Amino acid sequence: MPAYLFIKTRITNPAQYQKYVEAVRPLAARHGSRYIVRSRPIEVLEGSPDAWGDYLLLVSEFPSADAARAFWRSSDYAAVRKLREGAGEVHVALAEELPMPPALSPTSARAS
């Protein structure tokens, strides 16, 4: 089941952060990741816009939560992650895709 890293970032040193981006993209791809959202600015529809401030949002899809964790905990990523130290403020959350209810699944639709 797919899983997603939700990454909220405020970049304070664009040149240093770009070094991180250039190194992390191919590494994440090797772990089966693909970016599905890269957005800045964020349009806040509910809640305080101040909670987002000057943050951007990135959503990265992985084949599974285990694949995302393997990437996040890998020694390769630990080395790349050091590139973003001092380059911004980053918050990351991992969530799995919800399973489709049986009544809506393609299999149950074919059975009827």
State yes or no: pLDDT of 36 exceeds 80: yes
d(CA 52, CA 10): 9
Using the predicted structure, report yes or no on whether residue 112 has a pLDDT greater than 60.
no
Residue 24: what pLDDT? 96
Q: What is the rounded average pLDDT of the residues 17-40?
A: 94
Report the largest interatomic distance among the alpha carbons of the chain, rounded to a whole angstrom.
57
pLDDT value, residue 81: 96
Summary mean pLDDT of the chain: 90
Task: Give residue 33's domain range.
Answer: 3-111
Residues of the chain with pLDDT > 90, as a percent, come to 72
Please give the tally of structural domains in the chain: 1
In which element (H, E) is residue 72 found? helix 65-73
109 pLDDT above the threshold of 80: no
Q: What is the CATH number of the domain that holds 26?
A: 3.30.70.100
Token pair 């890293």: residue = 5
